[in-house]
Amino acid sequence: LVFADWANRGVNLWTIEQVTTNLSAGTNSYTLNAYDVDIVSAIIRQIDSSSNTTDLQLTRIGRSEYLNIPDKSATGRPNQYFLDRQTTPVLNIWPTPDSVNTYRFVANTIQRIDDVTASAQDPEVPSRFMPCMASGLAYYIALKRNPEKAGILKAQYEQDFKLAADEDRNRASLHLVPRRTYL
């Protein structure tokens, strides 16, 4: 329950993993690993006949936008994708990869956190999240066993989560530069 709560709150940086899928000419639908919960960012790696590689950004589209593409079998260099987030996610690429170049789909995916299923198994969480995990478990147990203490435990859980989540962030600088046409 605690891991599901964390996943529902947003991106936990330690759960991001880069995955690569080789695309086949004429195929626009690919089944991903069941642990790939969502895609944060994606590119197409285009490899030409001389083995030169070019990384090109992909645009994510929604279910309705994908549904409204009139010819899903049109071929070319892929520039859009739709992720159907089912139990086992399905990646839909458009246009369908052509045979002119070799294409690889490279994505930063959010991975599902494995449940602890044995007493000797360690949870797959960074140490900074351990207090949050302990207070979260105490809160969820209190909901069933001791509801009058749930409020206090929930407050502690929220505080512990905020401390851990505030530390688990991207520290890259953000630079916004206007185009010359706006100056």
Residue-wise burial string across 137-154, b where 16 or more C-beta atoms lie within 10 A, e elsewhere = ebbbebeeeeeeebeebb
pLDDT tens track for 79-109 = 999 999 998 999 999 999 999 899 999 999 9
In the predicted model, is pLDDT for residue 183 greater than 60?
no
pLDDT tens track for 15-47 = 788 999 999 999 999 999 988 888 999 999 999
Distance CA 29, CA 157 (A): 41
The Cβ of residue 32 has, within 10 Å, a number of other Cβ atoms equal to 21
Q: Give me the count of residues in the chain.
A: 183
Distance CA 35, CA 37 (A): 6
The predicted pLDDT at position 126 comes to: 77
In the predicted model, is pLDDT for residue 169 greater than 90?
no
In the predicted model, is pLDDT for residue 128 greater than 90?
no
Q: pTM higher than 0.75 for the full model?
A: no
Question: What token pair was written down for 160?
Answer: 């512990």
The predicted pLDDT at position 5 comes to: 82
Residue of 51 and 4 predicted with greater confidence: 51
Question: Any idea where the domains of the chain sit in the sequence?
Answer: 15-111, 127-167
